[in-house]
Structure 1
């Protein structure tokens, strides 16, 4: 019987190999020569030196020093100390073979009060970092706002809830274009604008912790029913204003590109009922259409205007024309996929109606070696997102700005789960390109084990391990860093990757048969 099972398993494996060819192998040669591979970080998560050389607090400093919404301990005061260790980090990037490094500028390091005088030390740091990257042949991809609005602007007029932010953000952007634009060609104005608006101003669980106080104990101010819409509106206008300035004043000589970043999810109806199918489209409109509709068509989705009514701001004709077509590319962050269920009962919750009458449930995919702390691997859902964006909004350039696997911070350097994760998602990029998606680059989150917004130092996404309790903050490469290096340098992959991925990820039923035959 065992022999028959073994023969059957061998036959199945042969069929898989014949049908899918080299399905489990992965080569950089499958990608266009101009496809960019990189890694990402953000200022507050890795820079440290939070109180040094003239930098003033951002809303993320305030959030972390007030307890991180009671979710975890820690702050970014020191973090990975990239402020002092940037040369070492850039050398590691060069050794890996990275094409690009996506980082953010700390607005309150460059312009400590959010407006007014430039901080010379902040200007010097970002010039030094940019020059170091360029000297090693690494493209700098810069984000201007990554969850870290200067606290001074929050205190003065409420930050993003106030239209004054449009002028101040545009002035900040111009400083960056003027000072760094001769070397920086890829600008992202705002990171995760959709989630920043909802988690910071509707749910109130992330900076700046604004929501209806009756909804969340952590909120002492805010209005969940109106502020998310105001914040998103002002982000769209601020982005469009900065893009207009860049195109008018700098693009002709600098030849760069300006984009916007959204956190995307894979959404699947929980059932095949029309209610759940319609709810899935509705959540797409509220999460993605909220920004891509204005960028593409100059206005919000009809379902948002219907549900939110007067709470969602209206664009004037001039504003609509300003926002429409204002992105040269879209940045996408992707981690999770969800089942969507229509749930009218949610409408009964007072003070909040953002993305109303929808419930979502995380899609969990488990194997015998999958930790409950790990992000489920659903690369086909990322392909669905790319296909959906192309179908609904056009085939403009897309950069995957963040994609990565979380583990516990004290887990092994042999992070096989992250290796499998990267193998699957990079493979999905190759498939997306073959199907016509205009994907231009892929960035791993995260280059270093930094200070995570949802888990502090308790969760790890880094290619390099850092023990933040060790004053040396030594960078130690994980297996995933070595795998990524081999991929980027076209070196042979460890055969174990092929076996593990083939067994546990793509063909679970076949994997079970192979296990039973052992």
Structure 2
């Protein structure tokens, strides 16, 4: 509907910004830190190197001072598993001390931390030992890590995310998932889904037990899905994509049920991922306090006949429009472009109204408060003197925040907004050529330089939004 007027954001709305440990900290082998699966990829392409990134490990005080100047009410960070448990088993006090210093600095500056427990970076030694998330052995190791986070940091952290984008970990297995060569991709995907869901459930229940006043929820990457045409087959394809990409993990955690469509599809292909009665019982009463989701773009689905060839999703790595490769899953759906939307240089389609649709769909299905934990525009930024004029980013964020406000006025309960990212970080697939931050970090993929920080135009724009609690 179109509203005659729009209310302001709630008085306690958490205006934030986000980063992740392996993308911002650097110091990948400092103070006893172990090697994560992301560190192990260093040098695997011209973009990926976690060694220094923005050197937040050594510059966190400077960076938190900028957060305070920006006016952030909250900051989303992740805890590097390999700083706390370098080998996945043995606690490292120096890693705990580092996050204590960060959390104390945030609290001193009246910034509430939102902590992501897992953001794509489990220990490489666990990957080598038993295949990482492909093995149920990782569940106990992950719960041990989460328990330590709750016990060490729970006095200052009252908002937690379990696993960042479980659904995208399995959608992009070679990029962020720890895929095992020689394993059928679909079997790997849904076994990892299975394992992560059990780990998710146990950690949420543990948090409620140890920290009854804290809030915790799962995090998914989410898109509004449109059928390519009004053909009924394309509508079915869109429903299939929603069930497989989003509803499958969330239904388990929020409803305690395994999606029947997904089960049937896998049974027909001889893939056994049916949860046991004991596991389904464990899914009862998980009761997440909210659902967090990351939104960048919408998607289009069309009918994909069984006889078509399967194509795995791939990112545009070149930053030149027209290089996107769309996925095909025979019998389910194939992706297509949307002729009604503009695209970024990396072919990510810009769809603010899709953001409002995402809020409506998630809230209607799960009836839980929603938290936006990533939303932003990756772009080429140019430092001109001491300034970065990123009006394109302001335009993107402004349109999305306006649609978020529309969703609140639709009746959706939204508690927080964390744009990606507070500062320029190592882009998962594109290094430092693709930037998201409010703060420019002066470096390139080839030259670390002095890593000076510069406030972009979007920094000052977002500062005004936070101050006014309105747009």
Using the size of structure 1 for normalisation, the TM-score is 0.82
What residue is the counterpart of 2:126 in the other structure? 153
Alpha-carbon shift at residue 349 of structure 1 (Å): 3.9
Do the aligned residues in 2 keep the contact of 1:60 with 1:208 (CA within 8 Å)?
Answer: no
Structure 1: stretches of 5+ with no match in the other structure = 1-18, 24-28, 211-219, 494-518
Q: 1:233, 1:475 → 2: CA distance?
A: 42
Alignment partner of 1:335: what SS?
Answer: coil
Alignment partner of 1:314: what SS?
Answer: coil
What residue is the counterpart of 1:83 in the other structure? 57
Query: Using a 3 Å threshold, how does the CA distance of structure 1 residues 101 and 365 change in structure 2: closer, same or farther?
Result: farther
Alpha-carbon shift at residue 329 of structure 1 (Å): 1.3
Do the aligned residues in 2 keep the contact of 1:60 with 1:207 (CA within 8 Å)?
Answer: no
Q: 1:425, 1:458 → 2: CA distance?
A: 23
Alpha-carbon shift at residue 472 of structure 1 (Å): 2.2
Do the aligned residues in 1 keep the contact of 2:344 with 2:350 (CA within 8 Å)?
Answer: no
Q: 2:184, 2:72 → 1: CA distance?
A: 43
- Which one is further off, 421-430 or 40-49? 421-430
Matches within 5 A, 1:440-479: 440-468=415-443, 469-479=447-457
Alpha-carbon shift at residue 114 of structure 1 (Å): 1.1
Q: 1:312, 1:90 → 2: CA distance?
A: 47
- Which one is further off, 331-340 or 312-321? 312-321
Alignment partner of 2:220: what SS?
Answer: strand
Alignment partner of 1:408: what SS?
Answer: coil
Alignment partner of 2:229: what SS?
Answer: coil
- Which one is further off, 79-88 or 350-359? 350-359
Do the aligned residues in 2 keep the contact of 1:373 with 1:408 (CA within 8 Å)?
Answer: no
Q: 1:62, 1:180 → 2: CA distance?
A: 28
Residue 208 (structure 1) aligned to one of 170, 178, 191: 178
Structure 2: stretches of 5+ with no match in the other structure = 313-326
Q: Does 1:144 align with 2:117?
A: yes
What residue is the counterpart of 1:505 in the other structure? none
Query: Using a 3 Å threshold, how does the CA distance of structure 1 residues 275 and 80 change in structure 2: closer, same or farther?
Result: same
What residue is the counterpart of 2:198 in the other structure? 237
Alignment partner of 2:418: what SS?
Answer: strand
Equivalenced residue count is 447
Do the aligned residues in 1 keep the contact of 2:18 with 2:374 (CA within 8 Å)?
Answer: yes
Q: 2:307, 2:461 → 1: CA distance?
A: 45
Residue 68 (structure 2) aligned to one of 66, 87, 94: 94
Q: Which runs of 4+ in 1 moved over 3 A?
A: 19-23, 345-357, 364-367, 370-376, 409-412
Alpha-carbon shift at residue 303 of structure 1 (Å): 1.2
Matches within 5 A, 1:1-400: 30-67=8-45, 72-115=46-89, 117-200=90-173, 204-210=174-180, 220-248=181-209, 250-252=210-212, 255-309=213-267, 310-326=270-286, 327-345=288-306, 348-349=309-310, 356-363=331-338, 372-373=345-346, 375-393=348-366, 395-400=367-372
Q: 1:57, 1:385 → 2: CA distance?
A: 36
Alpha-carbon shift at residue 20 of structure 1 (Å): 8.1
Do the aligned residues in 2 keep the contact of 1:37 with 1:442 (CA within 8 Å)?
Answer: yes
Task: Compare the two structures and name the one with the higher helix fraction.
Answer: 1
- Which one is further off, 239-248 or 103-112? 239-248
Alpha-carbon shift at residue 371 of structure 1 (Å): 5.5
Alpha-carbon shift at residue 486 of structure 1 (Å): 1.3
1:355-411: CA deviation from partner (whole Å, max 9, x where unpaired):
8531112335567xx763474331211111121122223x10111000001102447
Matches within 5 A, 1:422-433: 422-433=397-408
Q: 1:446, 1:37 → 2: CA distance?
A: 13
Alignment partner of 1:340: what SS?
Answer: strand
What residue is the counterpart of 2:377 in the other structure? 405
Alignment partner of 1:489: what SS?
Answer: helix
Do the aligned residues in 2 keep the contact of 1:258 with 1:329 (CA within 8 Å)?
Answer: yes
What residue is the counterpart of 2:315 in the other structure? none
Using the size of structure 2 for normalisation, the TM-score is 0.89
- Which one is further off, 310-319 or 281-290? 310-319
What residue is the counterpart of 1:436 in the other structure? 411
Q: 1:463, 1:365 → 2: CA distance?
A: 28
Do the aligned residues in 2 keep the contact of 1:63 with 1:206 (CA within 8 Å)?
Answer: no
Q: 1:374, 1:313 → 2: CA distance?
A: 34
1:120-163: CA deviation from partner (whole Å, max 9, x where unpaired):
21111100000100111101000011010110110111110001
Larger Rg: 1
Q: 2:65, 2:260 → 1: CA distance?
A: 49
RMSD over aligned Cα atoms: 2.4
What residue is the counterpart of 1:510 in the other structure? none
Q: 2:240, 2:452 → 1: CA distance?
A: 46
